[in-house]
Amino acid sequence: MSDHLWLWLFLLGAYHGINPGMGWLFAVALGLQERSARAVLRAVIPLTLGHVVSVSIVVLLAVLAALTFPHAIVHRAAAGVLLAFGVYRLVRVRHPRWVGMRVGFWGLALWGLLMSSAHGAGLMLLPFVTGSRAMMQGAMPMPGAMNGPYALGWLMVGVHTLGYVVTMTAVALVIYQKVGVSFLRTAWFNMDLVWAVALLVSGFIALMT
């Protein structure tokens, strides 16, 4: 993969980190509740864990499909999934509301998993997996234990997660220490709509290439 594609993976993770529905709003709320920046940072860890699990499941399934089925079938199937989920996100934007603010580590991790899955976070990595020549050939030009499509998949997840956790942490701390959540009443931006459109655009691009 080219350096530009790794950059896109990082930026995609950063976009997830900016989206308040993907974690930072929860972290800020917990920080304000406990009046502690440490509470904000503590919340980032389980939220990131849930995000990683959600994305990893999708990437693992994509790698297995890429190693089992012909490239054209996998690539078109990935495009179809993106398009279908993009339409779903346009018509259904409700989020899970089963949890309150008093949750522990595993509760936050489960919340991160559910929210990442509900937003289709891992699906946006499908074009990178199915479009990778190294993945389609079942090999990767890296030495030792890092050789292979599974290692490539984990590296994709790692780069994506780095963008997510760095951005989410930075946004959460800035909002907690400098801004506060009251600005959301006047500055709210519909990130879910942007995300749905991004899914659709990615699906069309994957289908055309």
C-alpha 157/C-alpha 6 separation (Å) is 11
Other beta carbons within 10 angstroms of residue 144's beta carbon come to: 6
pLDDT at 154: 87
Summarize the confidence of residues 107-117 as an average pLDDT.
79
C-alpha 14/C-alpha 19 separation (Å) is 9
Tens digits of per-residue pLDDT, 114-154?
777 777 777 878 777 776 655 555 444 444 434 467 788 88
Among 132, 119, 12, 1, which residue's Cα sits nearest to residue 62? 132
Tens digits of per-residue pLDDT, 150-200?
788 888 899 999 999 999 999 999 888 887 666 555 555 555 666 677 667
Enumerate the domain spans of the chain: 3-208
